[in-house]
């Protein structure tokens, strides 16, 4: 038993960005009245979104969790509200708003990536915002039935959409493998054309239907770099609201070191030694190359390998 559960706490997944959502979801008790009950609760708190960005309060009391009085000034669309869960203060809801301009002071719009590295929100808020953003995006793209084309309606606090034809659809999460291939004291990192200057990161790709996580790691690594993979070991996962993914982080064993990278997805792909990676993590590499920032699961995968 000790060997089965030999990973110390906190587990690596709990340390990644967007993974600190502490709301009690109470999913088994959601029903057709759950949302109405939460909306009627005067203690309810809100996360609001405009154009896919979260409304954040700046100034002396920063945060993205708004009281009903604060939320009311933005006229949230209560017909499209969803229930995220609850904490000791009461229910937590999310809803879209329509803004024709930037919000008034002290409020500001933040995209998800900026939120991840902002001191304006707590780690717990960032996790709840990721949940809310993914759920609201799913609703916006599932307003009509995939079987008959009629309009669907949300129920169960926002965790199901029903059609009059009897079809039911549920929120989706897209699994993505993100992996660090290692061999002989080196790790494989690639550079995508859309990365910031100097960035190199782990390879990644969506899991396809009928595919195991391990096989997805092997396929994606080979397709992007030409490197064949043997053993695969799961390390950690991270909620990723772009728009509703789960990043499944793995370390994997490279069976060869001859790179033939796919120029359509990567503009470069290289082996880096542990010493080089240590310099990259400290942003001291002589070529100016660096790793992804600390809250991204790619950084955790790289650091876990580099530090042994």
Task: Report how many domains make up the chain.
Answer: 2
CATH code assigned at 261: 3.90.79.10
Q: Rounded to whole angstroms, how far apart are CA atoms 170 and 146? A: 12
Which residues, given as ranges, of the chain have pLDDT below 50?
Answer: 1
Out of 97, 131, 165, a domain closes at: 131
Phi, psi of 99 (to 5 degrees): -120, 130
Nearest to 65 by CA among 93, 33, 88, 42: 93
298 shares a domain with 210: yes
Q: Rounded to whole angstroms, how far apart are CA atoms 268 and 9? A: 36
pLDDT of the residue at 1: 46
DSSP at 259: -
- Strand 245-254 and strand 174-183: the pairing is parallel
Out of 131, 158, 193, a domain closes at: 131
- For 90-119, what is each residue's pLDDT tens digit? 999 999 999 989 999 999 999 999 998 888
**Inside any domain, residue 136:** no
Encoded tokens for 257: 């070191």
- For 192-236, what is each residue's pLDDT tens digit? 999 999 999 999 999 999 999 999 999 999 999 999 999 999 999
**Inside any domain, residue 154:** no
Encoded tokens for 71: 């939320």
Q: How many C-beta atoms surround the C-beta of residue 21 within 10 A?
A: 20
pTM (2 d.p.): 0.94
Q: Rounded to whole angstroms, how far apart are CA atoms 69 and 38? A: 15
126 shares a domain with 207: no
> Hey, is 274 helix, strand or coil?
helix
222 shares a domain with 127: no
**Inside any domain, residue 217:** yes
pLDDT of the residue at 264: 86
Please give the residue range of the domain that contains residue 235: 174-306
CATH code assigned at 116: 3.90.79
**Inside any domain, residue 168:** no
């Amino acid at each position: 038993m000790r060997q089965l559960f030999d990973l110390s706490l906190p587990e690596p997944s709990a340390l990644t960005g967007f993974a600190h959502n502490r709301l009690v979801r109470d999913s088994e008790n959601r029903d057709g009245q759950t949302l109405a009950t939460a909306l009627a609760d005067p203690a309810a708190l809100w996360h609001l979104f405009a154009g896919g960005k979260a409304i954040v309060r700046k100034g002396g009391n920063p945060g993205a969790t708004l009281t009903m009085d604060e939320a009311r000034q933005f006229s949230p669309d209560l017909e499209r509200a969803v229930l995220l869960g609850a904490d000791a203060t009461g229910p937590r809801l999310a809803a879209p708003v329509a803004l024709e301009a930037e919000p008034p002071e002290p409020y500001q719009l933040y995209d998800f990536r900026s939120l991840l590295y902002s001191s304006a929100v707590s780690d717990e808020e960032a996790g709840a915002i990721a949940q809310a953003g993914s759920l609201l995006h799913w609703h916006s793209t599932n307003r009509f039935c995939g079987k008959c084309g009629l309009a669907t309606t949300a129920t169960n606090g926002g965790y199901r959409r029903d059609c009059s034809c009897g079809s039911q659809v549920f929120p989706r999460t897209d699994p993505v493998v993100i992996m660090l291939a290692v061999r002989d004291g080196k790790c494989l990192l690639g550079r995508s054309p859309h990365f910031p200057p100097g960035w190199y990161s782990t390879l990644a790709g969506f899991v396809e239907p009928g595919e195991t996580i391990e096989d997805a790691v092997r396929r994606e690594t080979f397709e992007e770099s030409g490197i064949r993979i043997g053993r695969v070991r799961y390390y950690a996962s991270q909620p990723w609201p772009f728009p509703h993914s789960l990043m499944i982080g793995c370390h994997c064993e490279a069976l060869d070191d001859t790179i033939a990278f796919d120029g359509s997805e990567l503009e470069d792909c290289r082996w880096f030694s542990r010493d080089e990676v240590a310099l990259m993590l400290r942003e001291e590499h002589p070529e100016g190359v660096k790793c992804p920032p600390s809250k991204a699961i790619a950084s955790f995968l790289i650091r876990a390998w580099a530090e042994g």
